[in-house]
Amino acid sequence: MIRISFRQSMLAGFLLITLLLSWAAVRSWLVLEQFVEQSRLGSEQALQLSASIQELAERTVYLERSARQFMVLNDPALLARFDENVAHSQVAVTRLESISGEALGKLPGAWRQTIESLGQGLHRSAPRAELLPFLNRLAEVNSELGLYGRRWIDERQAAMLTGLEQSRLHLARLVAAAVAGAFLVALAMSWWLARPIGSLERSIERLGESKFDEPVSVRGPADLRRVARRLDWLRQRLGELESDRERTLRHVSHELKTPLTALREGIALLQEEVVGHLGGSQQEVVDILQHNVMALQRHIESLLRLNAAAFEARRLHYRPVLLRKLLADAVRGRELQIQARRLTVLSEAPAIAPTLDGEKLLVALDNLLSNAIDFSPEGGVIRLQAESLGNLIRIACIDQGPGIAAEDAERIFEPFVQGSRASPTPRQGSGVGLSIVRELMMAMGGQVLLVPGSDYGSGANFRIEVPCELPA
């Protein structure tokens, strides 16, 4: 079975469209050439016919003059002049018959018969009364020849205009057929090529969402099939790497948690003095061990939480979300901490429902609000401000805490990095909250920024920006 490539398909489509349009152009050119040739021939014949009728009319005048002079003077020279004009007139009549065919009817024959009868009467010196009817008939025939000639020219012009109109309609149908054919070819080629490209896009989206269970299969040009096979190989490879990563994290967490649990139990026994009384320095060492074990456990849990957030960030679920409700849900989730610190949270948001991943955006807001609560002074104010900027949603979280030091601004979003400025109250954070926010924003095509300075004091001003689709 012959498999054509994407490039060959495009080339074949362009060639077919070019052939259709070229065929229409050539046919139009041939029709135009045919019409021009017919118009030229018609014009030449009309000119020749008019010239021949005019010449015959002039010769007839000479013939009448010679005949009348001969009838009066009976001079042989005048009769010879009459015969010479008859010979020239016969040539003009023959030319008229060759040009017009049957258009002039029997008039050329009538003219010949009349001039022949007139000539015979002159040669036998017939009386004037016998010859005058022939002269009058000759004038009538000439007049009728002029009328028939003009009618013939008018008919030819009408026929030419009719042919022109038919040619115009024919060309219009021809061009319309060629354009329609080219459009159908372009439509068929776009369908033929867009279908596999759409399948590739959907497969890439599934890979980006860490959905490795469905094979990549594309029907279409041969080179796109090769791309699909490479993507399927990549899918299998990514699936293996993801499985290895998850397995490694499970093993690491298990291997760390098991001895860590034993250490906590042992330290708890020492603190409870089950194995004997502890002196002051010994108790201090046990407290240090207890503090470090708890810090290690928090780091392990934070690492697992950061890994889980990075994994979930690739699974986006878009739906319309009310911004006011989103901010209210974030505040409601931290209500107990807010009340315990006697803080005031002011939220502002427009009454719109853009399409975005509300769950992940809520997680990002929760982490920002948690940091703001930890670093805000007791009785302080936290502001959550959302605004719509075209197809971009911007949400700012502003507190009245000590803010972020300039030397920490560049690395504050890195995992396990905490600012050098202390919070008003002791906190047990591990420094992954802002890393999770950055991971989620990057997954949604947005960003998180630390805005230098604040309009409400010296606190931190974090801003997240995420693209969205606004309702029509």
pLDDT of residue 1: 42
Q: How far is residue 429's CA from residue 302's CA, in Å, rounded to a whole number?
A: 9
pLDDT at 384: 92
pLDDT in the model for residue 394: 92
Contact 405, 368 (CB under 8 A): no
3 state SS for the chain: CCCCCHHHHHHHHHHHHHHHHHHHHHHHHHHHHHHHHHHHHHHHHHHHHHHHHHHHHHHHHHHHHHHHHHHHHCCHHHHHHHHHHHHHHHHHHHHHHHHHCCCCCCHHHHHHHHHHHHHHHHHCCCCHHHHHHHHHHHHHHHHHHHHHHHHHHHHHHHHHHHHHHHHHHHHHHHHHHHHHHHHHHHHHHHHHHHHHHHHHHHHHHHHHCCCCCCCCCCCCCHHHHHHHHHHHHHHHHHHHHHHHHHHHHHHHHHHHHHHHHHHHHHHHHHHCCCCCCCCHHHHHHHHHHHHHHHHHHHHHHHHHHHHHHHHHHCCCCCEECCHHHHHHHHHHHCHHHHHHCCCEEEEECCCCCCEECHHHHHHHHHHHHHHHHHHCCCCCEEEEEEEECCCEEEEEEECCCCCCCHHHCCCCCCCCCCCCCCCCCCCCCCCCHHHHHHHHHHHCCCEEEECCCCCCCCCCEEEEEEECECCC
* CA distances to 149, 181, 199 from 143, in Å: 10, 56, 83
On the 0-12 / 13-18 / 19+ scale of CB atoms within 10 A, 315 is middle
Contact call for residues 110 and 134 (beta carbons, < 8 A):
no
pTM score, whole prediction: 0.47
Taken in order 99, 102, 107, 108, is the CA torsion positive or negative?
positive
Written as six digits, the tokens of 470 are 């606004």
Which pLDDT score, from 0 to 100, does residue 249 have? Answer: 66
Per-residue pLDDT, 112: 77
Nearest in space to 409 (alpha carbons), one of 347, 468, 460, 356: 460
**Other residues' Cβ atoms within 10 Å of the Cβ of residue 359:** 15
| 5, 7, 12, 14: CA torsion to nearest 10 | 160
* Tens-binned pLDDT, residue by residue, of the chain (472 aa): 446 666 667 777 778 778 877 887 787 788 778 777 877 877 777 777 777 777 777 777 777 777 777 777 777 887 788 778 778 777 777 777 776 666 666 777 777 777 777 777 777 777 777 778 877 777 777 777 777 777 777 777 787 788 778 877 877 887 788 788 778 877 877 777 777 777 878 877 777 766 777 787 777 777 777 877 888 888 888 777 777 766 766 666 666 666 767 777 777 777 776 666 777 777 777 777 776 776 666 666 656 665 665 555 556 778 898 999 999 999 998 898 889 889 999 989 988 888 888 888 888 888 888 888 888 888 889 999 999 888 899 999 998 888 887 777 778 877 666 666 656 665 555 567 788 888 888 888 888 888 876 544 568 889 989 988 877 6
- Token pair 């009340």 is found at 339
Residues 96, 145: contact at Cβ < 8 Å? yes
Q: What are the strands of the beta sheet with 344-348, ordered from one edge? A: 344-348, 381-388, 392-398, 461-467, 447-450
Is the Cα dihedral 229, 233, 236, 238 positive or negative?
Answer: negative
Cα 438 from Cα 440, distance rounded (Å): 5
Tokens describing residue 112: 């010949």
Q: Residue 93: is it exposed, middle or buried by C-beta count within 10 angstroms (0-12/13-18/19+)?
A: buried
